[in-house]
Structure 1
Amino acid sequence: MNSTEIPVDVVLSTVLVAVAWLMPSLTGPTLPFGVRTPAARADAPVIAERRRRYRRQVAASGSLLIVADVLLASVADVHLPGAVPLLTAAAGLMAYGRARTAITAVKRREDWYRGLRQGVVADMSLRTDPERFPWPWAVPALLVLAGTATLGILRYPSLPDRVPLHFNGSGGADHFAAKSIGTAFFPLFEQAGSTALILVLTWLSFRARPDLDPERPTDSARRHRRFSVRTAISLLLLAAFVNLTMLGEAWVTWHGDQRVSPLLLLLPTAAGLAVVIGTAVRTGRGGSRLPAQEGAAPETKTGVVRRDDDQHWRLLGSIYVNRADPAVLVQKRFGIGWTVNFGNPRGVLLLVVILAAALIVPVVLH
């Protein structure tokens, strides 16, 4: 058994438990567990109870799985790499699904939307006078990419005839290939591809349709502007942290006789994810946790609530299908970020292009 496989699985499982535990805090007050509810029902007893129960279940199942993994490995010398993180994620999803089902049942039974005026709102100024995309925050990622390219060019002449392509759990090379531009610079190509992907997706999400509150449309639009900028900055910083991890992987590839712990290489990416999650928790979905703009007069409520659109969200509220909606990208209800509208052919095409690039490019480069 590889001595580093267990620590990697334990760390990954711990991160998954932490993210799952925070999940209720990553959605707005009117979307508990991805269920659309009126603001007046945000403090319904079933929501508070299900939130507490969900977090207890996530913490208990995650802790038991991690402890069982360590005991089996140390006592019986039994360990399946990656099994515990997968089981931890599955347990979190099951707990999330149970909470979602319970809240949906009460919502339907008590008819929470009875007598309410439902609607949607759009602020055209977000199109005609949009916020500037924070391109300067992409500079750190590009600088790390340029540094990796420079180191690779300087190192290439002195590389051996065979370079490592794969490393085992302890950081040792276990698969080699003949030296070439493709094999030697593969980590750099991966780094460039991931940088481009994050930048493009961040720009697209920055222009995605906002989910504004028709009850306070002006205040909601202001919060969305601040939310979109802060979220974009966190994602651009994530690109820089991911590039640092890939710089470490490139260095290991170009020094095949060295051993570096996978946990050490993943630390920058973990830091980047912490920035993204921390930003999401502080801002809330669409900026729902941001304070009102300083100096702005309180907005009078319109008496219109967000439309109940649960019927368009499938698979625990993670897949959006609405053929009548022209939007390509919409904010997720489950997790962080945006998802495509599977009811829009352009959204499906965008997803196919992204997946094709992620699957085909590495094969071509090899």
Structure 2
Amino acid sequence: MNGADMLVNVFVPAVLAALAWWMPSLTSPTLPFGVRSPYARADDPVVVEQRRQYRRQVAASGAVLITVGVLVSSVFRFGIPGVIPLLTVAACLAAYSRARVAVMAVKQRENWYGGLRQGVVADTALRTDPERFPWLWAVPALLICIGTTVVGVLRYPSLPDRIPVHFTDSGSADRFAARSIGTAFFPVFAQATLTVLLLALTWMSFQARADLDPARPADSARRHRRFSVRTAISLLLLAASADLTLLAGAWAMWHPDQRVSPALSLLPILAGLAVVIGIAVRTGQGGSRMPAQDGAVTEENTGMVRRDDDQYWRLLGSVYVNRADPALLVQKRFGIGWTFNLGNPRGVALLLGIVLAPALIVPLLVH
């Protein structure tokens, strides 16, 4: 089994299955499988049982698919790039869907929100005295982009008429293209596009509305502040690590006489992803796994619960559609991060712009 097959058919499915298995621990206790629930139901028997079944199903399907990936790559020796990871994602989604449906059915049958005071809270201090965006952590990514550009400009005049654009697992070139600005500087343009997108998305998520708990609003506001800063730093570090991987690819293109192992080139971005995942596991979604404040006395419960807003979440609770909500980004119901409000026309336009920008830039560079 070569390195590429090992990465695609074994390592990636293993990481996906591990993240899916851990995902219920990252989300808020009031969102079991994306179903909005009162805090008193966090350890309801149906939630505990469905969490157990979900993890059992994810672990079993992940083990089977990783085994299939090993057999396909090393025994049968025929390539099906990307199929095993896609099947892993599909199996995890099936387990999630089954658990979500079961929890939702019990919630509706037992009327979990009956007689409870629902509410929404906002912390105006998050606007009047916001946390500072950690711009300094964006400097490494910007410096790497500038450095790559300088190296490319210096190397371009001495490049041969045909330059390598693809490499084998051993680092030897096996595909070439005519030298041009588009081909020679493709890694630079990719760096710039990726860096700008990640910086923009990180800044927008940093400004996104806080999902505060009306039962303990002050505690959850403190968690949100630290969660936002740490998550932003991890994403900015991811941008720098991705730029380092692209720099390694550019170096191999611009120095065809020097072999650069593709596996080693991937180490920076893998390290960046490990940092993002590590911080996500430590903080939880919205800071749900963090203490309100080290050494602080826990805030007294107000007796209110979060508003039951399941009606605005479609497609297994993964898509948010609320035309009355002006927010562009809202926190996900399952997992870590943010998603777009597709009920807001600006949110739809922003999502389309992010998706279409790389799709339009790449063909232009190729031609």
**Structure 1 length-normalised TM:** 0.95
In the other structure, the counterpart of 1:82 is 82
Q: Percent identity?
A: 68
Moved more, 308-317 or 255-264: 255-264
Aligned-partner Cα distance in 1 for 2:100–2:171: 41
In the other structure, the counterpart of 1:340 is 340
2:162 is aligned with 1:140: no
Aligned-partner Cα distance in 2 for 1:305–1:85: 38
In the other structure, the counterpart of 2:255 is 255
Moved more, 256-265 or 56-65: 256-265
2:328 is aligned with 1:318: no
Structure 1 position 340, deviation (Å):
0.8
In the other structure, the counterpart of 2:208 is 208
Contact 2:202–2:236 (8 Å) recurs in 1: yes
Contact 1:50–1:99 (8 Å) recurs in 2: yes
- The correspondence of residues 95-174 of structure 1 with structure 2, limited to 5 A, is 95-167=95-167, 171-174=171-174
* Secondary structure of the structure 2 residue equivalent to 1:342: coil
CA RMSD of aligned residues (A): 1.8
In the other structure, the counterpart of 1:8 is 7
Deviations 1:296-355 (A, max 9, x none): 443222211000111111112111000111111101113321111000001001111111
Aligned-partner Cα distance in 2 for 1:177–1:112: 63
Aligned-partner Cα distance in 2 for 1:301–1:73: 55
Aligned-partner Cα distance in 2 for 1:59–1:33: 17
* Secondary structure of the structure 1 residue equivalent to 2:165: strand
2:189 is aligned with 1:197: no
Aligned-partner Cα distance in 2 for 1:323–1:360: 29
Contact 2:169–2:263 (8 Å) recurs in 1: no
Aligned-partner Cα distance in 2 for 1:283–1:296: 18
Aligned-partner Cα distance in 2 for 1:170–1:98: 44
Q: Taking structure 1 as reference, are residues 82 and 269 closer, same or farther at Cα in structure 2, changes over 3 Å only?
A: same
Aligned-partner Cα distance in 2 for 1:53–1:14: 19
In the other structure, the counterpart of 2:186 is 186
Look up the equivalent residue of 2:353 and give its one-letter code. V
Contact 2:163–2:254 (8 Å) recurs in 1: yes
Moved more, 291-300 or 265-274: 291-300
Structure 1 position 157, deviation (Å):
2.0
Structure 1 position 22, deviation (Å):
1.6
Moved more, 145-154 or 29-38: 145-154
- Structure 2 runs not aligned, ≥5 long: none
Structure 1 position 261, deviation (Å):
4.1
Contact 2:329–2:347 (8 Å) recurs in 1: yes
2:176 is aligned with 1:176: yes
Aligned-partner Cα distance in 2 for 1:181–1:95: 47
**Structure 2 length-normalised TM:** 0.94
Contact 1:208–1:327 (8 Å) recurs in 2: yes
Contact 1:165–1:173 (8 Å) recurs in 2: yes
Deviations 1:23-51 (A, max 9, x none): 11221111111111110000111112211
Q: Taking structure 1 as reference, are residues 102 and 306 closer, same or farther at Cα in structure 2, changes over 3 Å only?
A: same
Structure 1 position 195, deviation (Å):
0.7
Structure 1 position 147, deviation (Å):
2.1
Aligned-partner Cα distance in 1 for 2:167–2:357: 24
- Structure 1 runs not aligned, ≥5 long: none
Look up the equivalent residue of 1:334 and give its one-letter code. F
In the other structure, the counterpart of 2:291 is 291
Aligned-partner Cα distance in 1 for 2:54–2:194: 34
* Secondary structure of the structure 2 residue equivalent to 1:118: strand
Contact 2:284–2:336 (8 Å) recurs in 1: no
2:22 is aligned with 1:22: yes
* Secondary structure of the structure 2 residue equivalent to 1:187: helix
* Secondary structure of the structure 2 residue equivalent to 1:165: strand
Look up the equivalent residue of 2:230 and give its one-letter code. R
Structure 1 position 259, deviation (Å):
4.8
Q: Taking structure 1 as reference, are residues 85 and 258 closer, same or farther at Cα in structure 2, changes over 3 Å only?
A: farther
Aligned-partner Cα distance in 2 for 1:263–1:47: 41
Moved more, 327-336 or 170-179: 170-179
Contact 1:3–1:170 (8 Å) recurs in 2: no
Deviations 1:88-130 (A, max 9, x none): 1111111111111111111111111111011111111111111
Contact 1:138–1:236 (8 Å) recurs in 2: yes
